[in-house]
Structure 1
């Protein structure tokens, strides 16, 4: 059986419904690519001479903000649902998320004819709530500071006999996310460094699996918001560190701890985890809007902000950067772009 603890910092919950821990491998990433082929977009890899000149490196931006559902999360959600046995799929799926995973599961479920219930925080961005509803999912709201979303989700899954698809602590979700780095490296060739946003760890773990198999010598770096550096602490301590719910404009990375399925991968394959400030994220959001005509949400800018502000030293290198999402409310984006 598996135990877990979530944002509220409450007691661990014993979960008899999940299978024994299964750490995904690169073979799982390849299997995920086959499952999502034709469903997920093969997003473009973009370049900017201005960005290259600024850091003195060759930067390759994997534009997952242009993915279906507006974020990389569609990859893992679609793969996890597609991997379910038919008897399980007929009872639907339950997921919990602050937004991008919610939208991804709702959208992927609709495409595969599966019902979806999503547990979302009351303060999730309006655009993400609206999109999740628009994809046909039922939404159950909770207070991220006083309630435990995992407990709520497991209760609902048990009541509905549905499959639970967590946002990052799931082997098929991790494998699906890894297809982003696989596509990036296959398109641009060998890279010296791969820089990836880090929230719960699903994207970074999946990308690390792909990168170690296809560009084994590259340096792999995860990037968190300064206020939520549980991943950085965990990597340096060698065990999962839990923190209070952080507050940052990177709303997609407000997790309190890494997952049981992804931490062993991060510990084995990731070279470093660094942090960036909200001010650096704001400047990076503005750069993409003004210079590259891209809408990238603050969370999606984590990796780029670390590179473009010198937190990650990459002069003279070929650097792959994952832009993880672009789901930001237009009113919020206008406010962000207006700040100086």
Structure 2
């Protein structure tokens, strides 16, 4: 650990510099996830951090370390999400002008949030790489200071303050699971924890379909991974940095991956049981605990929830899909006589079964259905499986043929 002594000292300095700029987020014990995993699970709530993610820590500390001439020149960064908002907020707090280059297809909510924190937003290109190239060119052409999202010692030091907070609040922690994209967060936390308690296991967790760090470790050098397709956009980094790769290789216990559906199921459980809104990239560490990718039986385990900036339409789709998977929403179809009163008869049976109608559609024009009949399709919310059986039985007793179906 002597090779990282200087970086650890930067982390200690960052803790002092960041007082009043960022929150010291709490460590929240979760009975639900402890029961699911067999361990003693604590959630580090960086989703409740200022700007909604941990990124403000690294951005603020990195800017605090700039020379006066660099501060006067302003800063520029490229991001489609959390780094953008972290830089914008921190720059405004420190009185530094900021410019963020974002892909043209970035969510409107994130563009507006970044502007709301005081940044000048430039929309350029269709991918993060396009935006990054433009930011670097602008920095070179104008002299504005480029702020890297992860491959920078001061950014890493800012993120490492999370590790100090974990040990302050839970000195007997056994495991820490950290979302892993470019590696700045995992690098900072691993230095902070390993320097003080090397016996603690620190894991990096990637999305299986965007595992550039795992691929790099297997090759023994940073490699570029193409064709990423994941809901965990916040950690979908094609290639880790040279600095972060070296630290991860030296200090992390292991780098593991989780699947897309595992992540969204954890996201749903966080929302329903813990009442926490977390973005997919932010809950991969907890997902690794919940689904047994990291064994934490009888151990004190911290899962870092790194961010909560999620698109509301995406969140509604996750909830909808999970309700169907759990059998709490069902699809039912059947045929009824196409005359006054038939629909009312159906709805009376639905109500008597304690089932709620979410969506209903009547088709009178299907050529395969007799002219005096109509097909009825319903999406229903049900309290339990017995209510569905009761409803289908009541339909049958009334001479109505209805059945469950998959879309």
- Is the structural similarity TM-score above 0.5? yes
Contact 2:163 2:193 in 1 (8 A): yes
**In the alignment, what sits opposite 2:270?**
288
Seen in structure 2, the aligned counterparts of structure 1 residues 255 and 59 have a Cα distance that, compared at 3 Å, is same
**In the alignment, what sits opposite 2:255?**
273
Q: 2 CA distance for matches of 1:144 and 1:232?
A: 26
Matched ranges for 1:207-218 at <5 A? 207-218=189-200
**In the alignment, what sits opposite 1:5?**
none
DSSP 3-state at the match of 2:149: coil
1:55 is displaced (CA, Å) by 0.9
Seen in structure 2, the aligned counterparts of structure 1 residues 23 and 114 have a Cα distance that, compared at 3 Å, is farther
Q: 1 CA distance for matches of 2:189 and 2:126?
A: 28
Contact 2:210 2:228 in 1 (8 A): yes
**In the alignment, what sits opposite 2:170?**
188
Structure 1's unaligned 5+ residue stretches are: 1-21
Q: Deviations over 1:294-329 (max 9, x none)?
A: 000001011111111111111111111110000012
Q: 1 CA distance for matches of 2:254 and 2:55?
A: 23
Q: Which has the higher contact order (CA 8 A, sep 6+)?
A: 1
**In the alignment, what sits opposite 1:331?**
313
Seen in structure 2, the aligned counterparts of structure 1 residues 190 and 47 have a Cα distance that, compared at 3 Å, is same
Q: 1 CA distance for matches of 2:129 and 2:215?
A: 25
1:23 is displaced (CA, Å) by 10
Contact 1:199 1:255 in 2 (8 A): yes
Q: 1 CA distance for matches of 2:96 and 2:27?
A: 31
Q: Deviations over 1:206-259 (max 9, x none)?
A: 011011012210111101111111111222332112111511111101110111
Contact 1:24 1:174 in 2 (8 A): no
DSSP 3-state at the match of 1:220: strand
1:119 is displaced (CA, Å) by 1.4
Compute the TM-score of the two structures, normalised by the length of structure 1: 0.90
Q: 1 CA distance for matches of 2:97 and 2:111?
A: 17
Q: Deviations over 1:271-300 (max 9, x none)?
A: 211111111111011111100110000010
Matched ranges for 1:1-340 at <5 A? 25-145=7-127, 148-340=130-322
Compute the TM-score of the two structures, normalised by the length of structure 2: 0.76
DSSP 3-state at the match of 1:222: strand
